[in-house]
Amino acid sequence: MKIKLTSVYVSDQDKALRFYTEFLGFAKKADFSQGPFRWLTVASPEEPDGAQLQLALNDNPAAKAYQEAIYQQGQPAVMFFTEDVRGDYERIKAHGAEFTMPPTDVTGSTIAKLNDTCGNLVQLTQLARW
């Protein structure tokens, strides 16, 4: 058993693809459709055969309620690990993304949070090295 995929609900798949590729720097991995259903995933270019992130269209009322509630609480819907959270913050901010939390030292890591424009907060995490 392996963890190869996780999903994030997004309000618009084309818009999400732009954010996760152009802003965050991931690469499109799979994109196919069956009628109105579209299976869309991205992966990290640093780990192309690593875990995929599915960008799932949020047309599910239960998921919408959950997404809105955790967004209002400031909870990230998804979290990525980086070796350089401050560098990523500067690069992505310069591209025009809206950060709701600049790089902030917390227990064991430095984190930053930004809006993915599709209904979610994304957390970037750099683990502290001891």
Partner 1 sequence: MTDRAQYTPGPASGAEVRKDGEQWTLILVRELRHSPDKVWQALTDPAHLREWAPFDANGRMDLAGATVTLTTVAAPRPHVTEATVMRADPPRLLEYNWGDHHLRWELEALAGGTRLTLWTNIGRRFIAMGAAGWHICFDVLDHLLSGSPIGRIVGGEAMKFGWQRLNAEYARQFGIETPERPPQTNQHS
Which residues lie near partner 1 (CB under 8 A)? Answer: 7, 29-39, 41, 48-49, 56, 59
Q: For residues 30 and 128, which CB has a smaller minimum distance to partner 1 in the complex?
A: 30
Residue 19: half-sphere exposure toward Cβ, Cα within 13 Å: 21
Q: For residues 36 and 129, which CB has a smaller minimum distance to partner 1 in the complex?
A: 36
Q: For residues 22 and 59, which CB has a smaller minimum distance to partner 1 in the complex?
A: 59
Q: How far is the CB of 10 from partner 1 (least distance, A)?
A: 14
Q: How far is the CB of 17 from partner 1 (least distance, A)?
A: 11
**Cα gap 127→29, rounded to integer Å:** 26
